[in-house]
Amino acid sequence: MATPTLEKAESPAEVSPYITVTFRVRRFNPEVSAEATWQDFQVEIDPKERVLDGLHKIKWDLDGSLTFRRSCAHGICGSDAMRINGKNRLACKTLIKDINPEKPITVEPIKGLTVLKDLVVDMEPFFQAYRDVMPFLITKGNEPTRERLQSAEDRERFDDTTKCILCAACTSSCPVFWNDGQYFGPAAIVNAHRFIFDSRDEAGEQRLEILNDKDGVWRCRTTFNCTDACPRGIEVTKAIQEVKRALITRRF
Ligand code: SF4
Ligand code: FES
């Protein structure tokens, strides 16, 4: 019997992964005009690349004046939060294929903070609110010879809120913050939560009083925008609710 032979499979033609995507970017340069405008850029990009890669292609190959913040490019530093297709996201964590590249991808600065240029906003009010809640461990006396001990259960209490990277995606997605920049905002409350519920910390009462202010935690209207926006998956609204409850019960 003749030995069957395997037909050599034809190698599939090389298919380029690149597609052309329109980036519709909000441009603003106060030295040129008081008005912001939209500008379209055609970018050759692999759908598996990120929005940040597209912005880099624009800046490096098409228009070096495009201004935006980024540093780590891996979802750690929190510097590239922006509104992408109307939602707050990190450009470095948003894949082109996940946001319908067949339509123009809109990219705007986050809302509620003054735009300085293109996608760069003034983060100072955001960081001032962060500083106001004293985001550091406060203890009195009894210096340990080694470390301050804490049980796994006590550590678990604030584990979620330790993940914050201060990107401002939550605060700048909050309608209360848009209407009145005086509100501390979700990120400051998240970072207060991280210390209020830390069993080693001794300034919980002080932080609660800071957030009991008219611009504090009671301004939250529980819209959940902040939880939806958080690129770290922090249950922001839940943390805010826990701080509210601690203010009522004084137990934390
Ligand atoms: S809570 Fe989440 S969205 Fe808000 S600043 Fe921290 S990481 Fe960003
Ligand atoms: S560039 Fe650091 S989080 Fe995106």
> Measuring CA to CA, which residue among 89, 200, 96 is closest to residue 80?
89
Sorted by where each starts, the structural domains of the chain and their CATH numbers stand as 19-121 (3.10.20.30), 124-140+152-249 (1.10.1060.10)
pLDDT of residue 11: 58
What residues contact 209, with CB distance under 8 A and at least 6 apart? none
- With the most atoms of ligand 2 within 8 angstroms of its CB, the residue from 79, 82, 163, 166 to mutate is 79
The closest ligand to the CA of 185 turns out to be: 1
Give yes or no for residue 228 having a pLDDT over 60: yes
pTM of the model: 0.90
Quick one: DSSP state of residue 98? G
Decide: 80 in ligand 2 pocket, CB within 6 A.
yes
Helix, strand, coil share of the chain (percent; to 5): 35, 15, 50
Mutate to test the pocket of ligand 1, among 89, 127, 167 (most ligand atoms within 8 A of CB): 167
The pLDDT of residue 185: 96
Name the packing angle between helices 186-196 and 236-249 (round to 10°): 60
Q: What pLDDT is attached to residue 14?
A: 80
Q: What is the pLDDT of residue 142?
A: 74
Are 32 and 58 within 8 A, CB to CB?
no
| Mutational pocket test of ligand 1: of 113, 166, 183, 243, the residue with most ligand atoms within 8 Å of the beta carbon | 166
**DSSP code of 121?**
E
Going from the Cα of 127 to the center of ligand 1, the distance in angstroms, rounded, reads: 12
Protein residue whose Cα sits closest to atom 3 of ligand 2: 75
The pLDDT score that the predictor gives to residue 147 is: 86
Asked if residue 79 has its Cβ within 6 Å of ligand 2, the reply is yes
pLDDT tens-digit map of 154-196: 999 999 999 999 999 999 999 999 987 789 999 999 999 999 9
The SS3 call for residue 96 is: helix
Report which ligand 2 atom has the smallest distance to the Cα of 77: 2
With cut-offs at 50, 70 and 90, classify the pLDDT of residue 145.
confident
